[in-house]
């Protein structure tokens, strides 16, 4: 039985690992090393504190310090403590205490839950005082403060954090320009044709969206950008700037310890969350796991996956047995009045993974067609052109996340698009149409796939 468990990091993965480890072993000593002044809080909730949709920043703290140290968890939570080095042979972790002293802790099992760090794009002037990130609780406090005095804002990056922050600042009355290097918004979440729908909604709300655009320099009053096709430069007025160009797995500690990293730069783990050392595990944004659809390794960056990986790591570190076979990358958000969700690879990702892709799209009403409603649902599905298996789906409209949850189950069950098209679904005029939009999108794909198969057989 494992006696000493050390968890490095107390974000979603680290907290989940701690709780599961304690459930498995009531006797183990569990030590959490956290380099921030607070235990787990929701980084996903940070954009909603900027405009006080979540009234108090402190509301996103999941559990207070006393929760971890109390009788239920009984962990030794060490805040403001930095892990300096890990020695897998001696099974020790060298730490720097809040007082600046060094100490060495022994472990039987170790869990890396070190999360991610914001990436730094090659832009001049990012050290200016009006340039902000949104990765920590302190970042959110700073952004709240500077937003009170600003009238214009430039958001560099049109991923989830960038657009959620743009929406928050826009609701405070700031004039917003979103600058994106790639030719679409939410490029990791939806295909380009679905991104257009989101972009049009943003522009209808009064935001300016600059795609295929490089941010070159931040000055006191502007961001200098260049069109990637024409190389034409332009100055965009910005009293404040938010850099939201993604994150990278925080793996320097693991790398220095000889832990194997994957091709995406994360800590490579198996289905037990174990690394190349059987008693060392990793979970969350620092870990690299398998994509169940493409078969390629990925660093997910999703809180839901960090939670599941953390639970598995904690169970196994405490002497239990659990596995997570891989991830589907189910994702969702709500932006500018649109609910957006997706699962599986985008078309670009699928094709890079050499998957033969067949796509189909359907736009329908969220209610019966004759029932008074102005809310539409757009569904795009991707299938394997050779097998008809469902690969992924994207939905924009009401209940997008629940529709994608059904698609998650369908992909997990290895259903074909014909299987999905034939699913029985609910119907009532004010609630749901007689044919569910994702089954109609699947029907379009199934017919296309079946015709292709017929041609092959004849040909």
What is the average pLDDT across 177-184? 98
Residue 374 has pLDDT above 80, yes or no: no
Position 2 scores a pLDDT of 63
Q: How far, in Å, CA of 398 to CA of 405, rounded?
A: 13
Instruction: Give the tens place of pLDDT for each residue, 337-360.
Output: 999 999 999 999 999 999 999 999
Query: What is the reported pTM?
Result: 0.95
More confident residue, 235 or 373: 235
Instruction: Give the tens place of pLDDT for each residue, 113-130.
Output: 999 999 999 999 999 999
Instruction: Give the tens place of pLDDT for each residue, 272-331.
Output: 999 999 999 999 999 999 999 999 999 999 999 999 999 999 999 999 999 999 999 999
Residue 272: how many other CB atoms lie within 10 Å: 17
Residues tagged active-site: 44
CATH 3.30.390.30 domain range(s) in the chain:
338-458
Q: How far, in Å, CA of 143 to CA of 134, rounded?
A: 8
CB of 366 closer than 8 Å to CB of 376: yes
Please provide the average confidence, as pLDDT, over all residues in the chain: 96
Paired tokens of 150? 């600003």
Pick the CATH number of 4-117+248-317 from 3.40.50.1370, 3.30.479.30, 3.50.50.60, 3.30.70.20: 3.50.50.60
Pick the CATH number of 338-458 from 3.30.390.30, 3.30.420.40, 1.10.10.520, 3.20.20.80: 3.30.390.30
CATH number of 131-245: 3.50.50.60
CATH 3.50.50.60 domain range(s) in the chain:
4-117+248-317, 131-245
Between the alpha carbon of residue 434 and those of residues 142, 428, 446, the distances in Å are: 49, 7, 19
């Amino acid at each position: 039985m494992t006696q000493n468990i050390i968890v490095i990091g107390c974000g979603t993965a680290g907290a989940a690992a701690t709780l599961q480890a304690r459930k498995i072993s009531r006797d183990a000593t569990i030590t959490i090393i956290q380099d921030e002044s607070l235990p787990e809080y929701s980084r996903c909730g940070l954009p909603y504190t900027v405009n006080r949709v979540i009234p108090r920043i402190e509301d996103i703290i999941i559990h207070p310090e006393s929760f971890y140290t109390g009788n239920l968890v009984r962990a030794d939570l060490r805040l403001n403590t930095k892990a300096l080095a890990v020695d897998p042979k001696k099974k020790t972790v060298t730490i720097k205490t809040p007082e600046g002293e060094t100490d060495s802790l022994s472990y039987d099992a170790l869990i890396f839950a070190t999360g991610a760090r914001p990436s730094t794009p090659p832009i001049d002037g990012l050290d200016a005082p009006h340039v902000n990130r949104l990765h920590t609780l302190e970042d959110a406090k700073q952004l709240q403060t500077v937003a009170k005095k600003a009238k214009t804002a430039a958001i560099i990056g049109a991923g989830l954090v960038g657009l959620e922050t743009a929406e928050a600042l826009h609701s405070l009355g700031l004039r917003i320009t979103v600058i994106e290097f790639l030719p679409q918004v939410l490029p990791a979440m939806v295909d380009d044709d679905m991104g257009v729908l989101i972009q049009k909604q943003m522009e209808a709300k009064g935001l300016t969206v600059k795609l295929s655009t490089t941010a070159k320099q931040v000055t006191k009053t502007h961001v200098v950008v260049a069109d990637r096709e024409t190389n034409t430069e332009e100055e965009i007025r910005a009293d404040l700037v938010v850099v939201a160009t993604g994150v990278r797995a925080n793996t320097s500690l693991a790398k220095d310890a000889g832990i194997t990293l994957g091709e995406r730069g994360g800590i490579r783990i198996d289905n037990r969350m174990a690394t190349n050392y059987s008693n060392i595990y990793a979970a969350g944004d620092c870990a690299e796991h398998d994509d169940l659809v493409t078969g390629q390794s990925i660093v997910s960056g999703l809180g839901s996956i960090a939670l599941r990986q953390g639970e598995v790591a904690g169970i196994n570190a405490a002497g239990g047995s659990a596995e997570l076979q891989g991830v589907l990358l189910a994702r969702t958000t709500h932006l500018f009045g649109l609910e957006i969700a997706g699962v599986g690879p985008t078309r670009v990702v699928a094709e890079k993974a050499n998957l033969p892709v067949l796509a189909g799209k359907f736009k329908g009403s969220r209610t019966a067609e004759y029932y008074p409603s102005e809310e539409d649902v757009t569904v795009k599905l991707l299938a394997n052109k050779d097998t008809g298996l469902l690969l992924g789906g994207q939905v924009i409209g009401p209940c997008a996340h629940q529709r994608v949850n059904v698609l998650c189950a369908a992909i997990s069950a290895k259903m074909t698009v014909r299987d999905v098209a034939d699913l029985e679904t609910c119907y009532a005029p004010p609630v749901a149409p007689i044919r569910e939009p994702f089954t109609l999108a699947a029907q379009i794909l199934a017919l296309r796939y079946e015709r292709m198969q017929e041609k092959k057989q004849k040909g």
